[in-house]
Chains A and B, each alone.
Chain A
Amino acid sequence: MGESKAGGASVPASQLVSSLAPPASPNERAWRRFRRNRLARISAWFLGGIVLLVLLWPLVTPHNPDMLSDNQFQPPSAKHWFGTDVHGRDVFTRVMYGAQISLLVGIVGAGVSLIIGVTWGATAGYVGGRTDNLMMRAVDILYSLPSIIFVIVLITTLEGLLKNWLAAIGSDGLAKSARLIFLFVGLGAVSWLTMARIVRGQVLSLRTRQFVNASRVLGAGPVWILRQHIIPNVLGVVIVYLTLTVPAIILYESFLSYLGLGIQPPMASWGSLIAEGAEQINPIRIYWWLIIFPGGVLVSTLLALNFLGDGLRDAWDVRGGN
């Protein structure tokens, strides 16, 4: 890409007039670019729709996600849009119910990855030398420890510490969400490591660039340089890697559910629904709706997330796309 806009094409009067108007701020320009990107717009609407559905699902479906019935393994029908599972529960409702947890998991993972991972990696890459060495070795150490044991220890330790406190509170809902929160903490703790590494690689490459040197000569401090120059330039890689971190976290939660360590039944998340559905794949008979629907919803959400991320990066990219 990158066809040059320079050229001698005649410019219509209206464009001349608008070009005489006061220049829009960078943010406004970026926003305009974003809106022009049709795919990104569709994705944004889709994601918005999912979030709305997730918040309002009790209004959409008459079924209760915990309602067991004797109609197990029914294929999709008018009554059950996504069919039923082994306990006769409506799969559509379960998928909507599970969306809450999966989206939360994704947000937590992305958030931790972004905040801790980017800062860590950028600092290490920019400062270099012994600090870089130390910081990256810390990342190596945390990365080498088996995450499963880490998650188990974290959850059981936190549960043990807070058990008495929770029992005293006596609230049913809080106890359930406490376990969930511990799971999130565990997942977040392992999600920022690779982001740190990738950002560090980019920053290493960037810091020897001319404009960075120029800023330094002009007397800019490292924090300012990081904020103004380095981070905007790694934003592209960061956004792309974020769009990879979210599915990675959701799939890791799925793996934990596969091992029996994840979400507590009868709660559900997309990950646990997919893990359940994966058992159904065999050559004799497949209850395809148990895997296609949760998988399909996950994939389309992540696709939308990706295209949105692409759109955002294209719109805000410092050096401009089109």
Chain B
Amino acid sequence: MQIAHRATGKNPLARFFFWRRLPRWSRRVAPIVSSLFILPSSFVLTSCGHREPPANITICNANEPESLDPHIVTGVSEMRITKALFDGLTRLEPRNAAPVPAIAERWDISPDGRTYTFHLRPNAVWSTGEPITSADVVWSWFRALNPATAGDYAGQLFYIKGAEDWYNGKIKEPSQVGIRALDDRTVQVELNSPLAFFLELCSFPTLAVVPRQVIEKHGDRWLHAKPLPTSGAFTLGAWRVNDKVRLLRNPRYWDAANTASEIIDVLPTGSPNTALNLYETGVADIVWDKDLVPSELMDVLGKRPDFHSFTYLGTYFYRFNVTKPPFNDARVRRAFALATDKNRIISKLTKGAERPATHFVPEGVANYSAATAPGFDPDAARRLLAEAGFPGGKGFPRVNYTFFGAAGGGAKLHGKVGIELQQMWRDVLGIAVELRQIERKVFYSSQSKLDYDVSMSSWIGDYNDANTFLDLFTSTSGNNRTGWKSDRYDALIKEANLQTDLQKRAEIFRLAETILIADEAPVVPVYFYAGFNYYNDAKIKGIWQNILDEHPMQYIYKKGRGVKGN
């Protein structure tokens, strides 16, 4: 009955036999439901036409960059990209990460070490063709020093005379700040005191030279300007969030002759297993970031030839809140430190090339060889604890070990380390420490407010010098976060930084470090980070391992796909 009814129907689709077979109600529902499928399918078909040339090198970097503005980035993964886009007066060479000329071709240093005169290259130009002048350099540094830019690392410039006062509004005249353009090609910088690592600091992204032309016009969105003038070896081809950052060779770069690849794709990768999969299937050529290595596989990966590990400029440690009992007593802190079996943590948990930290400043730092703190000594630990009034852990108040958890790579480790530490303290000292896992942001704010007893911590150095680690614990440093103050320590650090003789400087640092980890121990270093990357040596060239994990992308190429045909 139904069929006969519909045979003459106004519905043009009635011709199709199957349409007549469908129940009536579905004929009204079907359009709605099918549009849900037709729309996406058409999307798929149209997007097929969008084809990009393949990249010469594909790299798995860590998470999506927060920004590519060198004056506001804080993370290592962002800095790798900004260094490819924007040069500074100096840059770091790929083998040992030593500072070499970039935009500045040479410099003069005054005998007292406070004044640097940089002579800029005549052939330094933006990727859009305009010359890079000293006015650009001065403007860039003042932009980094501008509170409105709100860059976290503006403090890197505070070593310059008057910079900090300028930032805080105490000086209003820019000429009172020690950054001056003497002429079109010369920049003069006056420091507060001689700085052993100033040349290296000049390669730091906060001191990079950025294009005034587009920043003045576009404000915060200047990185979306097309064309984007860059001062580095590459230009920004594409930046798709969570998808990729595509870097294209900048032919106008003064060193363009040495740029080894035309196109480099940098993929933001969140999960270590995904990075491994991408590498194993050949989609990614290089995976570089210590958080992108699955820690359980470290022992297997470590034996492969394409897996490289190296000492890295970072320390994993834990802090005490010294403002509250029982950790206001240095003996208790030292007892905890002596009860920590660092080798066990490394062999059981991290399994990589990490080294147990018997001192705070990592091994391999330039111009320094560190002091040594006592290692794992359970008897001494128990003795100290008894001296402090808690023999065998009796009467010890309830304390917690705070750390944060997060998805993906490195953060899972903190909980595991906490569990092992908990057991060590229980077995050696007889103290039951509670574990307290809190969310990352809550963790940072708790640490700042000194709302913890013992807290997991880590620190990566900004530049290759002991100062970046030791000045953390001066009483004025915002990164102290232990409540610990020592006038002697402050004085030592200050004195060291005024010292031009590197030997004497190292001596002073050593004294300071002894106070920090042996005598007072507001922090206990656990291990020194190891950096990792994996790539096939036979095919990928232009990468060398160094303590700063610095691999300028300019030199990287794949054999057979390089620009120079090598």
Decide if B390 is an interface residue (CB 8 Å cutoff). Answer: no
Q: A213 near B: Cβ within 8 Å?
A: no
B301 touches A264 (CB 8 A): no
Contact of B442 among A70, A86, A156 (CB under 8 A): A156
Q: In the bound complex, how far is the Cα of B365 from the Cα of A191, in angstroms?
A: 53
Complex Cα gap A274–B276 (Å): 21
A261 CB-CB contact with B under 8 Å: yes
Q: Mask for B393-430, Cβ within 8 A of A = 1, else 0?
A: 00000100000111100011001101110110000000
By a CB distance below 8 angstroms, the chain B residues around A176 are 434
Are B273's CB and A281's CB within 8 A?
Answer: yes
B274 and chain A: residue at smallest CB distance: A282
Judged by a CB distance under 8 angstroms, whether A300 is at the interface is no
A257 to chain B, nearest CB (A): 8
Q: Are B296 and A86 interface neighbours, CB within 8 A? A: yes
Scan residues 235-281 of chain B and give those whose CB is less than 8 A from a CB of chain A: 273, 276-277, 280
Docked complex Cα distance between A152 and B434 (Å): 21
Contact between A70 and B405, CB atoms less than 8 A apart: no
Any chain B CB within 8 A of the CB of A23? no
Q: Does B387 contact A (CB under 8 A)?
A: no
Q: Known contacts A279-B296, A282-B276; decide if A259 and B406 are in contact (CB<8 Å).
A: yes
B436: A residues at CB distance < 8 A = 264
Q: Are A284 and B301 in contact (CB under 8 A)?
A: yes
Structural contact, A285 and B405, CB atoms closer than 8 A: no
Question: Do residues B296 and A261 form an inter-chain contact, with CB atoms below 8 A?
Answer: no
* Interface residue from B273, B277, B407, B435 paired with A266 (Cβ < 8 Å): B435
CB–CB B423/A284 < 8 A: no
Q: Which of A70, A264, A281, A287 has the most CB of B within 10 A?
A: A264
Contact (Cβ within 8 A) A259 B297 = no
Q: Is the CB of A260 within 8 A of B439?
A: yes
Shortest distance in angstroms between B16's beta carbon and chain A's nearest beta carbon? 32
Q: Which of B421-454 contact A (CB under 8 A)?
A: 422-423, 434-437, 439-440, 442
Residues of the A chain whose Cβ atoms lie less than 8 Å from the Cβ of B437:
260, 264-265
Q: What 0/1 pattern do residues 65 to 107 of A give for CB contact below 8 A with B?
A: 0001010110000000000001100000000000000000000
User: Is B349 located at the chain interface by the 8 A CB criterion?
Assistant: yes
Q: Residues of A contacting B273 with CB < 8 Å?
A: 279, 281-282
Q: Are B406 and A260 in contact (CB under 8 A)?
A: yes
B151 at the interface (CB under 8 A from A): no
- Determine the distance from Cα of A73 to Cα of B280 in the docked complex, in whole angstroms: 24
Chain A, interface SS category? loop
**At the interface, yes or no: B300 with Cβ under 8 Å from chain A?**
yes
Bound-state Cα–Cα, A176 to B398, Å:
13
Q: How large is the interface on B (under 10, 10 to 19, 20 to 34, 35 or more residues)?
A: 20 to 34
The answer to whether B15 has its CB under 8 Å from any CB of chain A is no
Chain B residues whose C-beta falls within 8 Å of the C-beta of A86 in the assembled complex = 296, 348-349, 416
Q: Which residues of A contact B434 (CB under 8 A)?
A: 172, 175-176
Q: In the complex the two chains form, what is the Cα distance from A265 to B405 in whole Å?
A: 10
Q: Could you count the A-B residue pairs with CB atoms below 8 Å apart for me: how many are there? A: 71
Please name the residue on chain A nearest to B436 by beta carbon. Answer: A264
- Checking A264, A279, A283 against B277 with a beta-carbon cut-off of 8 angstroms, the contacting residue is A283
User: B24-40: which residues lie under 8 A (CB-CB) from chain A?
Assistant: none
In chain B, what residue has the closest Cβ to A259?
Answer: B407
* Complex interface: chain A residues within 8 A of B422 (CB): 266
Measured between beta carbons, the chain A residues less than 8 angstroms from B301 are 284
B385 CB, nearest partner CB in chain A, Å: 20
Once bound together, how far apart are the Cα atoms of A260 and B411, in whole Å?
A: 9
Which A-chain residue is minimally distant from B427 (CB atoms)? A68
- Is A258 positioned at the interface, with any CB of B under 8 Å from its CB? yes
Tell whether B294 is near chain A: CB-to-CB under 8 Å: yes
Is A280 positioned at the interface, with any CB of B under 8 Å from its CB? yes
List A residues 34-73 near B (Cβ within 8 Å): 68, 70, 72-73
B300: chain A residues within 8 A (beta carbon): 284-285
What CA separation (Å) do A152 and B437 show in the bound complex?
12
Given contacts A70-B348, A287-B296, contact A260 B418 (CB under 8 A): no
Given contacts A87-B419, A172-B398, A279-B294, contact A259 B405 (CB under 8 A): yes
Point out the residue from A264, A265, A284 that lies within 8 Å of B276, measured CB to CB: A284
CA distance A70 to B277 in the complex (A): 30
Q: CA separation between A215 and B255, bound complex, in Å?
A: 89
Known contacts A260-B407, A264-B435, A264-B436; can you find 9 more A-B pairs with CB under 8 A? A68-B423, A70-B348, A87-B348, A152-B442, A259-B407, A260-B415, A260-B437, A265-B418, A282-B294
* 9 sample A-B contacts, Cβ–Cβ < 8 Å, listed by A number: A73-B296, A86-B416, A156-B442, A172-B398, A260-B440, A264-B437, A279-B412, A282-B273, A284-B301
9 shortest interchain CB distances as A-B pairs? A260-B405, A260-B406, A265-B415, A68-B423, A259-B407, A282-B273, A264-B437, A265-B435, A266-B419
- Chain A residues in the interface with B (C-beta under 8 A): 68, 70, 72-73, 86-87, 152, 156, 170, 172, 175-176, 258-261, 264-266, 279-285, 287
